Amino acid sequence: MVSPEFRIRTRRQVSRLAQVMPGSSPSLRRALARMRSTLLAGRPPAPPFFQTLHALLAQEGDVSLDELMATAGEQTYGLLILVSGLISFIPGVSMAGGLVALILGLQMARGVPRPWLPRRLASLHLHRGRVKEGLARFEGWLARLGRRGDSGQPLNQRWMGVMVLWTAFLTALPVPPIIPMGNAIPAATLCLLGAALLEERPAWAWIGALGMLGTTLYLGLSARLLWAGLVRLMA
């Protein structure tokens, strides 16, 4: 909702702009600069998203992915990837979390501006307490990385989508329990990529990329060792 004061200020700047002579480029630039500052000043500041998410999770009952998508607005991709990473820590549902992130990563890689989820996945209900507990732990981990630095810089959505797509695939794999942290490591990487999208932090995205590569090497080496062990047992 635009306030009356904002409308008045905008009309005044437009009137001043209309009075500028066509050949007077310095005056035109100054008028445009004033109008730009007015428009920027009229934008409502975006609330810290983690506070919004905590407020939603503080309510009673379960929460669906549909509700989270409605809350996120323009940050839907980052939120859903973060939440899918959090629920992937829960035993027994890591495949569901990986599947959600897989669909999101594919859409990001294709350049789809807003995400879409099948109705069955969108209506998936999450336990608020478990998600909130996982979010608190993840925020403590982010605090160690530091919140200062390169925030507010746009990230390449397609490249982020490729990283999310591959990391989600690793998360959804039925990793046997014999491999330590087989699902937790890619789930943590998903959370970091989602947080990087939410707060537009390239440094976190780079750390997430390293985590993706490390997870690929770790699971690949573990699978090779397991296969070699099975071959020896069957020989």
CA angle 126, 65, 152 (to 5 degrees): 115
* Spans of all domains in the chain: 4-41, 49-227
At 57-78, the pLDDT tens digits run 666 667 777 777 776 665 788 8
| Position with higher pLDDT, 7 vs 115 | 115
User: Residue 42 — very low, low, confident or very high, per pLDDT cuts 50/70/90?
Assistant: very low
pLDDT: which is higher, 7 or 209: 209
Report the predicted TM-score, pTM, of the whole model to 2 decimal places: 0.66
The pLDDT of residue 106? 94
* 70 contact partners, CB below 8 Å, separation of at least 6: none
Mean pLDDT of all residues in 22-35: 53
Average pLDDT, the chain: 75
Name which of 152, 141, 143, 162 is nearest 202 in CA terms: 152
Please determine, for residue 44, whether its predicted confidence score (pLDDT) is greater than 50. no
Tokens 């989600």 belong to which residue?
168
| Model pLDDT for residues 69-118, shown as the tens digit of each residue | 776 665 788 888 988 888 888 777 788 889 989 999 999 999 888 888 88
pLDDT above 90: percentage of residues in the chain? 24
Q: Can you tell me whether residue 221 is helix, strand or coil?
A: helix
Please tell me the least confidently modeled range out of 44-48, 58-62, 188-192. 44-48
Residue 146 Rama label (left phi>0; alpha psi -120 to 50; beta): left
| Listed range (117-126, 132-141, 217-226) with the worst mean pLDDT | 132-141
pLDDT value for 88 = 87
